[in-house]
Structure 1
Amino acid sequence: MKVWIAGATGVLGHRLVDRFTDRGHQVVGLARDSDGAERIECHGGTARRGDVLDADSLEAAIDDDVDVLIHAATAIPDSTKPSDEEWERNDRIRLEGMKNLLDGAPDGVRQVLFPSVVWLARQPDGSTFDETAERHPDRATESAARVEDLLRERATAAGFDVSILRCGFFYAPDTRDTREWGRRLVDGDLPIVGGGILGRQDAELSFVHADDAAAAFVAAVESDASGVYHVVGDEPVTGAEFFKSFADLLDEPEPSRIPAWLARFFVGSVAARLLTSPMPTTNEKAKRELDWDPAYPTYREGLKQVVETWESDGTLAEFRGETVADSAAPGRAETA
């Protein structure tokens, strides 16, 4: 099968290139520059130059014999307190980018996949929800909701299948957030953000290891899936427990706490709300219909893999300001 991927150089995208090529599929990835093209080809794919916001560039970039189209490109703001302009760029890449991709796609495309987010459908009362729950979009998820709606509309007219994989909060050794969390835990300045006046109210969150998210996309393609699926670990976990476990694996002290009303002045209201608004959901439908099982079913296995990877590749030593030799010296407990 020929799989065409926008966002093929990102955290999810390069894993998609790896996994689809490993399964024998032909993979084409969109790259905006030569560095991106080289990365795609290093992971086994064929690179095409273009930009999802430049419709003309997609005419030559999307082959006529593409079977599957995946729009995994984003521009999630990386500043501490993102501006409206930063969020608007992400909105454009999600929505305008998807429109351009659909307009440029050949008639023979059989399936289109989109990585949405589970917190789009979290419930105001904090209860557990599934794929049938009413959506409650906010500033960060409004564009994801609009892309979901667009795909349903275009699929009816064009006759292709749509797979919307709503993912939990990504974590992995190479994700921006995970690396920042690890660095700050080592430095002792990553607080647990909680609800309430004193920050003692913990919200259950749904995480997924990026490797498992990529595996779910492969499973959705190979099973010709159509519909909405929640791609998360086997159990939700509070942010407090997640970061306590992370600190323990890093052999660092338990993080302190900070209330969300105070945290928003430092990390912004979107991030503060994300960490304190419950989003407990289930992966039962994805496991049942996609024949998908996460390699890291809970945060415990996933965080262990993160720390082991950092120990072996020198990242943890870098966080601690050590040389590789120093990192193996006595006094640092093994966390494997």
Structure 2
Amino acid sequence: MRVFVTGASGWIASGVIPQLIDAGHQVVGLVRSDEGEAKVKGYGAEVRRGNLDDLDSLRAGAEDAEGVVHLAFNHDDFAAAGATERAALEAFGDVLKGTDRPFLFASGIALIKPGQVLTETDASPFSGPDAPRGGGEQLALSWADSGVRSVSLRFAPTVHGTGDHGFIAYITQVARERGVSAYVGDGSHSWAAVHRDDAGKAVALALEKSAAGSVVHAIAEEGVATREIAEAIGRGLGVPTESISPEEAQARYGFIGMVYSTDIRASSTITRERLGWEPTGPTLLEDLPNYTG
């Protein structure tokens, strides 16, 4: 299958694209820089230049493909990210409706059901262009009745591995700079986690097997206690560990502090049964020495 992948030079795509190619697919990756182009070509994929604001490029990429995996998200401007995501999804919908082609798109679990274990049967409560991520999950899954094999890819808040520059990498960086590793409150609240390569395998299987309107959970660990995360970072860096308040967390980590203060757990039981997916990569705690070494 010829697959158009957005966010092709990004972190999650670095696990997804090699898995798609290994499965025999031809990948065309959307990139916006020379550096990104070199990276994506290094995976063995073709390249299309463009970005999320270039809707004509998104439409052209979808028209030229037999399936779309939309991983890009505008992390540079969270204030405008929802509107950007909504417009991008609508551009893809213009092309894909009535074609029965697969459309897999990145989503998340952070705000859907905090404090409880989220499952694939739990619908996102967010709708409309002003909602988080532009209400994209509800919008795209609704296309299942319009001839699109739309599939929501819900990734763990921690997609970890060597080279990661996301939440865990940032928390580790702050601990190194301040000389102390922190957790919020008693640190009993947890984060779901998945290794980057396992997430890639889940996406490749979802492209081939997932039904229209379904939800896939790229979740290997239902939840890892944030105190355990902070203590492992502290051991790796050789610094003490301390408890801080939610207010201190936001002051110390910014937006990530709010996420770090939230219990974000999710199950992948249904995904494993439907796709035959079984994570084999290292756990988050096993992987943390790669962040602190």
TM-score over 0.5 for the pair:
yes
Q: Partner residue of 1:166?
A: 154
Q: Which amino acid aligns with 2:271?
A: A
User: Alignment partner for residue 228 of structure 1, among 212, 215, 219?
Assistant: 215
CA contact (8 A) 2:249 2:260 kept: no
Structure 1 41/255 Cα, relative in aligned 2: closer, same or farther at 3 Å? same
User: Alignment partner for residue 111 of structure 1, among 84, 91, 102?
Assistant: 102
* Pairs within 5 Å for 1:84-95: 86-95=77-86
User: Alignment partner for residue 265 of structure 2, among 256, 261, 280?
Assistant: 280
Q: Partner residue of 2:44?
A: 44
Distance 2:59 2:92 in 1: 9
Q: CA deviation at 1:154?
A: 2.6
CA contact (8 A) 1:15 1:214 kept: yes
Q: Partner residue of 2:172?
A: 182
Q: CA deviation at 1:149?
A: 1.3
Q: CA deviation at 1:137?
A: 5.2
User: Alignment partner for residue 142 of structure 1, among 131, 139, 142?
Assistant: 131
**RMSD value, Cα:** 2.6
> Secondary structure of the equivalent of 1:236?
strand
Distance 1:136 1:260 in 2: 25
Q: Partner residue of 1:334?
A: none
Distance 2:145 2:97 in 1: 16
Deviations, residues 197-248 of structure 1 (Å, cap 9, x unaligned): xx33531221222222111101111224440122212341111111212333
Q: CA deviation at 1:2?
A: 1.2
Q: CA deviation at 1:42?
A: 1.2
Distance 1:6 1:76 in 2: 14
Q: Partner residue of 1:57?
A: 57
Aligned residues: 288
Distance 1:33 1:107 in 2: 33
Distance 2:63 2:116 in 1: 44
Q: Partner residue of 2:112?
A: 121
Q: Partner residue of 2:286?
A: 301
Q: CA deviation at 1:275?
A: 1.5
Q: Partner residue of 1:153?
A: 142
Whose RCO is larger (CA < 8 A, sep 6+)?
Answer: 2
Instruction: Verify: 1:70 aligned to 2:59, yes or no.
Output: no
Q: Which amino acid aligns with 1:73?
A: A
CA contact (8 A) 2:249 2:258 kept: no
Instruction: Verify: 1:202 aligned to 2:188, yes or no.
Output: yes
User: Alignment partner for residue 275 of structure 2, among 279, 283, 290?
Assistant: 290
Q: Considering only CA atoms, is the larger Rg found in Structure 1 or Structure 2?
A: 1
Q: Which amino acid aligns with 2:83?
A: R
Distance 1:120 1:262 in 2: 21
Structure 1 294/204 Cα, relative in aligned 2: closer, same or farther at 3 Å? same
Q: CA deviation at 1:5?
A: 0.4
Distance 1:61 1:201 in 2: 44
CA contact (8 A) 1:110 1:161 kept: yes
- Unaligned stretches of 5+ in structure 1? 78-85, 311-315, 317-336
Distance 1:39 1:97 in 2: 23
Deviations, residues 100-146 of structure 1 (Å, cap 9, x unaligned): 223245864521101111123224xx2323122354559xx933361
CA contact (8 A) 1:185 1:252 kept: no
User: Alignment partner for residue 247 of structure 2, among 247, 261, 269?
Assistant: 261
> Secondary structure of the equivalent of 1:52?
coil
Among the aligned pairs, what percent are the same residue? 23
Q: Which amino acid aligns with 1:247?
A: G
Distance 2:249 2:241 in 1: 14
Q: CA deviation at 1:188?
A: 4.7
CA contact (8 A) 1:131 1:229 kept: yes
- Calculate the TM-score normalised by the size of structure 2: 0.87
Structure 1 92/39 Cα, relative in aligned 2: closer, same or farther at 3 Å? farther
Q: Which amino acid aligns with 2:9?
A: T
CA contact (8 A) 2:180 2:239 kept: no
- Calculate the TM-score normalised by the size of structure 1: 0.76
> Secondary structure of the equivalent of 2:106?
strand
> Secondary structure of the equivalent of 1:206?
strand
- Unaligned stretches of 5+ in structure 2? none
CA contact (8 A) 1:73 1:93 kept: no
